[in-house]
Amino acid sequence: MKAHTLSVLVENRAGVLSRVAGMFSRRGFNIESLAVGTCEEPNMSRITIVVLGDDAQIEQVMKQLNKLIDVIKVSDLTYRESVERELAMIKVTAEPGTSRAEVMQIADIFRAQIIDVGSKSVVLQVAGDTKKIDALENLLRQYGIKELVRTGKIAILRGAKTVKSSK
Amino acid sequence: MKTGAKILIEALQREGVDTIFGYPGGVVLPIYDELYDSSIRHILVRHEQAAAHAADGFARASGRVGVCLATSGPGACNLVTGIATAYMDSIPIVAVTGQVPTSLLGNDAFQESDITGITLPITKYNYLVKAASDLRRVVHEAFYIAGTGRPGPVLIDLPKDVSTDQVQDTTSISETVSLRGYQPTYHGHIRQIDRALDLIAGAERPLIYAGGGVIHSNASAELVAFAERIMVPVTTTLMGLGAIPGDHPLNLGMLGMHGTQYANYAVTECDLLLAIGVRFDDRVTGKVATFAPNAKIVHIDIDPAEIGKNKKVDVPIVGDVKAVLHVMNDRLKKTGRWEPWLGRIRAWKEKYPLRYQDDGRLRPQHIIRELSALLKGEGIIVSEVGQNQMWTALHYTFKKPRSWITSGGLGTMGYGFPAAIGVHFARPSEPVIDIAGDGSFQMNIQELGTVAQYRIPVKAMILNNMYLGMVRQWQELFYDRRYSYTELPPVDFVKIANAYGIDGIRVDSRDDVASALKAALDTDGPFVLDFRIEREENVFPMVPAGAALNEMIGVRQP
C-alpha cells in the first residue's frame, strides 16, 4: 500500500464531485485527501486526490475515474517529478507570556505566518508538504490545538511539462 | 417558439424512436399532451418498473436504444430496478423522468425525489435539465452515450417548467457528438493483437470464453468464423448464449456456477483462455484463484476498466469485439495443433452430458427441450430469474444472437414478463416466450393488463413448483432442508389470465406438454401456460459458492 497523488481534470459541472466521490466510496477505495478548484481552463476543474492502494488497485482507481464521462484526464504524479503542497490553518492556545513566545518561535522556524491573534490563542498559517505540516502539528500539540483545518494536498509537475500535454 | 415538451418529442423522433414505454403522472402531463398526437407509439404499462424492463427488452432484441418515461418521485423511483438491471448487463436505454418545477427543487415538494442522485451509481450518465434550450443537445448526447462504447442506461430528468417553457428552438446541434471526457476505443492495439495471435500459435489447450459483449457488438459471425478457423472450442456466459449456435460442434455451452461439466473442465484445464466480451463475474469464475489456473489469458473488451479488474490478464486488448475479431481473423497466419485437446473435450462431452431424470413425471427440463424442439431456434426466449432461467440456459438450444433475453448481472426477478413486452415491439413478427417461475411471475403479474390491452402475443410459460425454487434449492443443499419462507401457496394462474381476458391452460402431465405448447404458439394473442412441475427439482450441475469450477455437485464424478 502506498499513497498515490492523482491529478484529475474534470468538466466544471454540477454533480461532478459527487460522481467522483461516489465512485470511490462505492468501490471501496480509500481517499486520504481531496482538493478541488478551478484551473487554467475556463470550463474545467482540477481535483487532486491522494489515494492509498497497491499498484493494481491504483490502476483500477484510474480506470474507473477515466470511465466517468465528466472526467477528462487522470494522471498519477506519484512517480513523476512534481511539487506538492498543502495549506493548514492551526488555532493554538497561546496565553500571553512564555507559551505565546514559544509558539511564535516555532512558527518562525516553520515559516508559518501568524494570521490572527486573540487574547488566549493565535492562528497559524503554514504551507508545505504533508510531512512538514504533520511535524508542525505534532510540535504544537503540547500547547493545545483548538482547531485545525487542512486543504488537502495539491500537486503540479516540475518544469515546462503539464499534466494535459503529457501522456 | 416551442415548449420543452415539444422539443423533447421532436428530439426523440430525430433519434429514430417509434415506441416508448411509460406511465403518466402530474409533472409529465405536458409531455403526455405532446405525445397525444405525435407519431410515437406509447405503451401504457401497469407499473413503471415494467416500463424500464420493456425498454430494456426492446434494446436487447433490437440492438437499438430503448426508451421509457415516468413521472417524478414514485414514478422515477419505480424505474430504479429496471435501470440497475440495464446497467449491470450494459443495455442501452434512455429513461425520461418528470421532475418538480425548478423553483421547488430541493424543497421536498410533492412527488419530488432526487432521481439523478439516486441513479448516479446505476446509470452510465444522467442529466437534470435546467433549461428547455438545452434539451435537444441533451437528448442527442444521451442517445449517443447510451448506445456507444460499453452501452448502458442514461437518465434525463425534466422539471415541469422546463417542459412548459416556450423557447426559440434555434440551437443547431451537430450530428456528431463530441465529449472530451468520453472517447471509447473501438480498434484494438495491433501489437497486442499480434501477441494474442502468437499465444494462439504456441498453445496446446486453447479455449474461447465469450460473453454479452459479443452480442452487443453484433460479432457472432466473426466469433464463429474465428473459432472455426483456429478450431478452438467456445464456452459462453449466460449473457453470451446464442453467440455461437447451441448445436455447433465447437460449442461447449455455458460455464460457471451452473455451467456444463465439460465447459467447466475445459476452463480448468486450458492453457490459453481467449476471453471475449466478458467480465470474469463471480458466477462465472467461482473461486477466482482457481479459475483457469493453468492458462495465459487474453482479454478483449471495450471497457478498459474490466481488464484486470477481477483476474490478472496477460494480453489486454481494448476495443470493440467485432472490430478486434475482424482484425484477428485477417492477421491470423498459422494456428497451433491441438488434436489431443479436442479429443479430450469430445470425451468429456460424451462421458458427462447434461442429464436430468426423464421418468414420465412433469419435469421442467423436458418442457424446455420440448419447446426447443418445437421452435427450432426461431423466436425469442425471455426468462425470469432463478431455476427457470438456469434450466432454460442449459436445456434450450439457442441458435442465434439476440434470441435469449435475460437479466444476468442484477438477477432481477420479475424482469422477464415486462421485458417480453418490449421484445415484441422490437421484433413483432417473431414468437416471444417468457419462461417464468411462479415466484418471478408474481413480481410483475400486473403486466397481464398491458399484454391484454394491446393483445401482445407473448406466451408466459410458468414452471410452477409453488416454491421460490432456487432459494429452496440452496436451503436444501446448504441449510439442511430448512425451507425458511420459500414456499408459496398455489395460485390458479389460468384464472388470473382469464380475468384479464387472456387464455391459458394448466398442465399437470408430461403427456400434455407438447400439445399445450402448440396450443399456446398457435394462439394469435397472449397466452398463459401453468405447468405444475415436480416441486423439488434442482438445477445441476452446480458449483457451490466459493468452490473451484471443477468441484461440481449433482454430476457424475470423474
Contact between chains at B120 and A19 (C-beta distance less than 8 A): yes
In sequence order, what E strands does B377-479 have?
380-383, 404-405, 432-437, 458-464
Reply yes or no on whether B48 is catalytic.
yes
Residue B73 pLDDT = 98
Which tens digit of pLDDT belongs to each residue from B25-36? 999 999 999 999
Closest approach of chain A CAs to the CA of B131, in angstroms? Answer: 14
Chain B residues whose beta carbon lies within 8 Å of the beta carbon of residue A65: none
Residue B171 pLDDT = 66
Reply yes or no on whether B254 is catalytic.
no
Which tens digit of pLDDT belongs to each residue from B298-316? 999 999 999 999 999 999 9
Which tens digit of pLDDT belongs to each residue from A1-33? 899 999 999 999 989 999 999 999 999 998 999
Reply yes or no on whether B333 is catalytic.
no
Reply yes or no on whether B111 is catalytic.
yes
Q: Is B308 near chain A, with CB under 8 Å?
A: yes
Contact between chains at B181 and A72 (C-beta distance less than 8 A): yes
Residue type, B224: V
Reply yes or no on whether B470 is catalytic.
yes
β-pairing, B503-507 vs B527-532, is parallel
Active-site entry in B111, B130, B231, B400: B111
Closest approach of chain B CAs to the CA of A153, in angstroms? Answer: 24
Nearest to A22 among B121, B304, B305 (CB): B121
CA of B170: how far to CAs of A9, B11, B295, B367, in Å? 32, 13, 58, 58
Complete domains list, chain B, with CATH? 2-167 (3.40.50.970), 190-351 (3.40.50.1220), 364-539 (3.40.50.970)
Taking each continuous run of H as one helix and of E as one strand, the counts in chain B are 22, 20
Q: Mean pLDDT, chain B, as a whole number? A: 97
Report the percent of chain B where pLDDT is more than 70. 99
Q: Is A70 near chain B, with CB under 8 Å?
A: yes
Helix (H), strand (E), coil (C) string for B64-111: CCEEEEECCCHHHHHHHHHHHHHHHCCCCEEEEEEECCHHHCCCCCCC
B527 pLDDT more than 70: yes
Q: Scanning every residue of chain B, which has its alpha carbon at the shortest distance from the alpha carbon of A73?
A: B181
Q: Is B84 near chain A, with CB under 8 Å?
A: no
- At which residue does the C-alpha cell 426477478 appear? B413
Q: Which of residues 414-443 of B touch A (CB under 8 A)?
A: none
Judge whether B504 and B493 are in contact, CB under 8 Å: yes
Q: Which of residues 134-163 of B touch A (CB under 8 A)?
A: 145
Cell for B246? 447451441
Residue B80 pLDDT = 98
Chain A residues whose beta carbon lies within 8 Å of the beta carbon of residue B116: 15
Closest approach of chain B CAs to the CA of A16, in angstroms? Answer: 11
Q: Is B482 near chain A, with CB under 8 Å?
A: no
Nearest to B308 among A56, A68, A70 (CB): A56
- Check if the interface score ipTM surpasses 0.95: no
A167 pLDDT more than 60: no
A166 pLDDT more than 70: no
Residue B176 pLDDT = 83
Give the residue from B97, B50, B7, B152 showing the smallest Cα distance to B441: B50
Choose the weakest-confidence range: B251-255, B296-300, B355-359.
Answer: B355-359
